């Protein structure tokens, strides 16, 4: 059934969203102090316990807590990151930190989709639940972490390995998803493994006027050709099967080429770097063997190094046999949402959460919305934003009411 929407005119939830957007938490110098002040102010208004942690200097993690009536049960964690990516203001119609709302109700600003909207939707959903006098057996924690946009190494990666995170007693974590341009809502139960590799090729040097054999360039060409041929096969596989999404195929992109000292000198060494995103359904050992065989086939004096090689393939089961998934999906079905379970095509902080052994789902309630994260003129329509609050109200209440699961008293 469809939910009745409140009129968006002068909506206080929208005003708080716009206030949050105006905090310039933009990399590489995010205003985390401003973020902390805002979030602590929200916690005081709503009536949540608040604390902050710092595992890396200046990188503040905020935790807001609504204790459940049975605090020994595993908790519900609502995670979001507080930083946003840089902007190129000359390409924006409105200033990217003005939170301008146009006549169609579109709110423009860096972070509207990625992911300040979700942070405010969490807060406003909890605000509504508390104002209704609701109580739940499970504790709800809102965690707001820094530096996701630069890899999360000084944020969630440190947090999940710390006693403070384990003390939250995580059961299920919600984190960011993506907008969906159709009427469906994407929900992500796993992520690709990110590999960054550089291949180095050495060969015979010489004058640019000669046909030198066994050059670094010829070897590098072999490696690049093998990887780009595989890339094209994966692209065609995606395009030929409508049931597949970007998260179901391996993406390969050549991101950097180095070598040479002069236009008329054949170089001794050349290198190429690649960004590979591998679905959790792929056998990583077999893929590694294939990748390295392409390098060996290029000739002698070809070496490779991995700058990043994520091997965790843990996913959260998107089936009703998983009580967390059932508690997430049931209220969505009740209000007529069409969920589309997917593998996330890039990476989020959920990777670290799942790698640490906890369940996580990525969800941003933005359907009929173009995907604009990291893009110029990032925006979110006010009605979509406000509906998301009502959706989270249902989901959070359901998750916090899950009866004791296996291993709980």
Task: List active site positions.
Answer: 83, 148
Nearest to 224 by CA among 184, 180, 258: 258
Gap between the Cα atoms of 401 and 49, Å rounded: 20
DSSP 80-124: EE--B----GGG-SS-TTS-EE-TT-EEE-TTTTTTHHHHHHHHH
DSSP 149-171: GGTSTTTHHHHHTSHHHHTT-EE
Instruction: Measure the N-to-C terminal CA separation of the chain; round to a whole number of Å.
Output: 35
Gap between the Cα atoms of 112 and 92, Å rounded: 14
Close Cβ partners of 191 (under 8 Å, ≥ 6 residues apart): 247, 280, 343, 344, 346, 347, 348, 350, 351, 354, 362
Task: Answer whether 145's CB lies under 8 Å from 135's CB.
Answer: no
């Amino acid at each position: 059934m469809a939910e009745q929407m409140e009129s968006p005119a002068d909506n206080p939830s929208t005003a708080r969203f716009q206030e949050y957007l105006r905090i310039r938490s933009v990399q590489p110098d995010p205003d985390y102090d401003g973020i902390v002040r805002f979030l602590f102010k929200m916690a005081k208004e709503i009536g949540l316990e608040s604390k902050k942690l710092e595992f890396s200097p200046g990188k503040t993690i905020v935790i807001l807590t609504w204790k459940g009536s049975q605090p020994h049960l595993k908790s519900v964690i609502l995670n979001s990151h507080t930083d946003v990516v840089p902007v190129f203001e000359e390409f924006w119609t409105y200033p990217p930190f003005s939170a301008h709302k146009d006549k169609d109700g579109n709110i423009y600003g860096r972070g509207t989709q990625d992911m300040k909207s979700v942070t405010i939707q969490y807060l406003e959903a909890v605000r509504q639940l508390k104002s209704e006098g609701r109580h739940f057996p499970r504790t709800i924690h809102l965690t707001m972490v820094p530096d996701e946009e630069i890899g999360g190494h000084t944020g969630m990666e440190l947090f999940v390995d710390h006693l403070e995170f384990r003390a939250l007693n995580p059961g299920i974590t919600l984190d960011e998803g993506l907008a969906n341009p159709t009427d469906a809502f994407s929900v992500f139960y796993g992520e690709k493994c990110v590999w960054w590799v550089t291949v180095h090729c050495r060969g015979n040097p010489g004058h640019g006027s000669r046909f030198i054999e066994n050059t670094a360039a010829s070897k590098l060409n072999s490696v690049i050709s093998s990887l780009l041929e595989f890339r094209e096969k994966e692209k065609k596989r995606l395009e030929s099967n409508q049931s597949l999404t970007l998260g179901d195929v391996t993406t390969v992109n050549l991101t950097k080429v180095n070598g040479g000292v002069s236009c008329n000198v054949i170089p001794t060494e050349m290198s190429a770097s690649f960004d590979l995103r591998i679905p959790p359904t792929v056998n990583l050992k077999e893929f590694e063997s294939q990748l390295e065989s392409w390098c060996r086939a290029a000739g002698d004096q070809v070496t490779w190094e991995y700058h990043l090689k994520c091997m965790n393939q843990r996913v959260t089961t998107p089936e009703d046999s998983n009580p967390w998934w059932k508690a997430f999906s049931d209220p969505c079905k009740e209000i007529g949402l069409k969920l589309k379970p997917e593998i996330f095509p890039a990476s989020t902080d959920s990777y670290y959460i799942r790698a640490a052994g906890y369940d996580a789902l990525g969800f941003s309630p933005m359907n009929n919305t173009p995907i604009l994260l990291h893009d110029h003129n990032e925006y979110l329509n006010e009605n979509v934003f406000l509906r998301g609050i009502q959706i989270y109200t249902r989901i959070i209440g359901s998750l916090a009411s899950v009866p004791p699961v296996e291993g709980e008293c």
